[in-house]
Amino acid sequence: METLVVQPAPIPFYTVLIFYLGIMAFIGWYASRGTNSLSDYFVLSGKAGVIVSGIAYFATQFSMGTFLGVPGTVYNVGYAGMAVSVPGAVFCMILPAILVGKRLVKLGHEYKFLTMADYLSDRYGSNKMSSFLGVLMLVFLVPMMGAQIIGAGVIVNVFTGLPEWVGVVGMGTVVILYCMTGGMKGAMLTDVIQGGLMIATAIVTFILSVKMGGGFENINQSLMKMNEAFLSFPGNTNYMPWQFYVSQIILWSFFTIGQPHLFTKFFAMKNHKVMFKAILLGTAGMWLSATLIEWSAVNAITFIPGLKNTDQVIPLILQQGMNPFLASVFIAGIVAAGMSTIDGVLVITSGAFTRDIYQKIINKKASDESIMKLSKIVTLIIGLVVIAFGILKPGTIFEINLFAFAGMGIFVVPVMFGMYWKKATLSAAFASVVTGIIVLISLTSIPALKPFAFGFHPLLPAAVVAAVVMVIVSLFTKTPSEAIIKKHFSIFKKVNKQEV
């Protein structure tokens, strides 16, 4: 029989949530006082320190899916389900930093890049790459933000009885306000608070789950009696075969390189020494949060049995194990997971239109001041579209998130080849991305083609095909100019004792 949802006292819930959202809005206003240029607005003028860089990266990477969707999956699978993101969390900042991070910090400071499109259009010598990426960002990242805002609606509906649209509109409005006013500075400063709250939520939830389950020994004995599959691979319902396990590690680590909102974080970092320290901080936060919040869901199998709406498992642990005020504080931590993803993506997505499409294609004479004003208007418009998306709710949080992440992930191909292979060409970059997306969608949506993924996530074979296309087309098209090659490769051969 399904466990009933315990309704928290309305006054504590509303008091804590309104107070929290008010703090986020205040930080946005405060950040706006020091936001005077496009560089400030998009990348903090490359001055982000260790704490802001490390926590902001992990807070943006983790989302509503981390605290609602993934634990819900783990609840049905058992310990094997923790492989959904825990292994990937260990490498999702380390791998991008090693492969592209140090180069991006140097390139960003040297050439004043503000977005992924800045890098790609400069590396491939055409602003057409900017508009191409900008359009695809609107296609994939609006749904990514929508997935987060749907989670806010679910939380408000479950814990107050109000319609989901109330949570969607409330969360969306606050995020729009602090992103419009403070840009990336507002987003990254709020990420520090949100990241800290996420870590606290994970720790507290885990401790509660162990206590409510009667201790580790009792929990494992109970799981053994319920179903031995909860304790071993591939888990209940054979959920985690080795191909899927490998896919999850690669998906959430290597393919983060193709995510514009994470890619841009390297441009904001002060220097590569800050980057490496931020890696340690961010990785620790991601590993700790993912491990404890997913482990909590495993523990909950024993004391919240038969839960049908599994996305509720973490909030239920908090509700049943704490007094209303404290439960509301940590429920705000789940809201923080969604907000921290939306704000970073919203700033980058508005930049995709204002800089990558408008300033570089439509009106090349537009001043930075006018672009900054336009960015705030576009942020409002995109934010309203995201709110509408959240109200319509076209799919589950996990489904929408995975679709968006995979769609942008294919850009890892032109990024990696552009950074390490001098012969990579513009035509090849276009062809690889288009081919990769077609393969990805085909393997995902056409039943007859799904076996050709060989049990892996479709993004993996799609990326392999895209890489092959990149090589073939590059060999048969004109090599980039000597000026481009010198600009993007010779810079790393210079002997420079000073920090970037």
Task: Tell me the chain's radius of gyration from C-alpha atoms.
Answer: 22
What pLDDT shows up at residue 499? 43
**pLDDT tens sequence across 11-29:** 777 788 778 777 776 776 6
Q: How many residues are given for the chain?
A: 500
The span from the CA of 53 to the CA of 49, in Å, is 6
Structure-token pair, residue 19: 């107070």
The span from the CA of 385 to the CA of 35, in Å, is 25
What pLDDT shows up at residue 325? 82
Residue with the bigger pLDDT between 47 and 290: it is 290
Contact 233, 82 (CB under 8 A): no
- The closest of 129, 346, 314 to 206, measured between CA atoms, is 314
The amino acid sitting at 362 is I
Q: Quick check: 344 pLDDT over 70?
A: no
Structure-token pair, residue 147: 């997935």
The span from the CA of 94 to the CA of 100, in Å, is 10
DSSP string, 248-309: HHHHHHGGGGG-HHHHTHHHHBS-HHHHHHHHHHHHHHHHHHHHHHHHHHHHHHHHSTT-SS
Identify the band that residue 297 occupies on the pLDDT scale cut at 50, 70 and 90: very high
What pLDDT shows up at residue 77? 94
Residues 109-123, mean pLDDT to the nearest whole number: 87
Alpha-carbon dihedral angle through residues 252, 257, 261, 263, given to the nearest 10 degrees = 140
Residue with the bigger pLDDT between 124 and 237: it is 124
Q: Quick check: 494 pLDDT over 60?
A: no
Please, what is the average pLDDT of the chain?
A: 82
Q: Quick check: 421 pLDDT over 90?
A: yes
pTM above 0.85, yes or no: no
What pLDDT shows up at residue 131? 80
Provide the 3-class DSSP secondary structure of residue 48. strand
- Under the phi-then-psi rule, with left for phi > 0, alpha for psi from -120 to 50, and beta for the rest, what region is 169? alpha
Full 3-state SS string of 391-444: HHCCCCHHHHHHHHHHHHHCCHHHHHHHHHCCCCCHHHHHHHHHHHHHHHHHHH
Residues 256-285, mean pLDDT to the nearest whole number: 85
Structure-token pair, residue 3: 């466990």
- Top mean pLDDT of 69-73, 100-104, 126-130 is at 100-104
Residue with the bigger pLDDT between 338 and 138: it is 138
What domains are defined for the chain? 10-397 (1.20.1730.10)
Residues 223-232, mean pLDDT to the nearest whole number: 94
What pLDDT shows up at residue 124? 95
Sequence-distant (≥ 6) Cβ neighbours of residue 482 within 8 angstroms? none
Sequence-distant (≥ 6) Cβ neighbours of residue 436 within 8 angstroms? 410, 413, 462, 463, 465, 466, 469
Within 10 angstroms of residue 193's Cβ, the number of other Cβ atoms is 18
The span from the CA of 382 to the CA of 55, in Å, is 25
Place of tokens 């600009």: 487
